[in-house]
Structure 1
Amino acid sequence: MSCRNVDCKEDYCQAIFLLAILTHFDSLKNQDIGKRFCNCTNNSEAHMTKLTLLMMFFLVSCSHTPNIAGKWQEPGTTSSIEFGRNGTFTAIDEMGMTVSGNYTILANEKIRFEIKHPNSSDEVIIGSFAVLDDGLILTLDDDKEVLTYKKMNTTTTK
């Protein structure tokens, strides 16, 4: 399961976390509480350690990421941006100029846009984002421009 560009179910991630904690009881196999939860042998100790590390890695990768999929519009303008669940986006400015490409959610609420330009090389823009209720705030790193959007009622099926 990939957590790229979409929300992971928090309950699912919490269940994985609990499973990782329970498998960690392998290290307690010589204590009474560890014996109650698993009957581990030396052969399975390495396997359980790897499983625990894998579970913890999965949990970290599934940390809650705000869902930006859907169509957003700048209040008082015709400018909009639509994010597909498949990592694509399309933005339309006030004058009707359209750009599109791919986006990737990065760590620390950062977002990477790769804008496709016909007959020229792609353009990469990095920025920060925050989703608050029905609002989206994008801050572009290069010029610190702040863009504020409101979620539109239509949803994307991409």
Structure 2
Amino acid sequence: MEGLYSFLILIDSFLGSADWFPYALLGVGLFFTIYLKFPQIRFFKHAWQVVTGKFDKESDPGDTTHFRALTTALSGTVGTGNISGVAFAIFLGGPAALFWMWVTAFLGMTTKFVEVTLSHKYRVKTEDGTMAGGPMYYMDRRLNMKWLAVAFAIATVVSSFG
């Protein structure tokens, strides 16, 4: 167990605790926002129409409606840590913390847009007719990095326990 803890601390030193990591996340979000010409604003009306069921058809492939897919994606993104974390951040940082949460949320919308779009594009239909997709599928099928897809899947399973 001590070895696993040491390994996790090593990974955290490169990512979570690194000074450059928040800038990298904001930079990626800013890059996608500018490159895709602000999709979180341009596609807002269309997104609302999709979520409210304007484009739902029984003949479409897939297992869920657009609204169910959205709520599933949001449940994986927003958790109790986000709720209590916001209150704690405002307590510590005051109004400035709220401003930066809005900025990161705005840029994060485009990052999530890219992630979900790639997950949809590279999803597969399984033998029983259901659809399977996610980041591990585009890591394997587009980036040709099966090792990264496996590592992501394992990290997702491990993180779901805590």
Short-chain TM bin: under 0.3
- Structure having the higher helix fraction is 2
- Structure having the higher strand fraction is 1
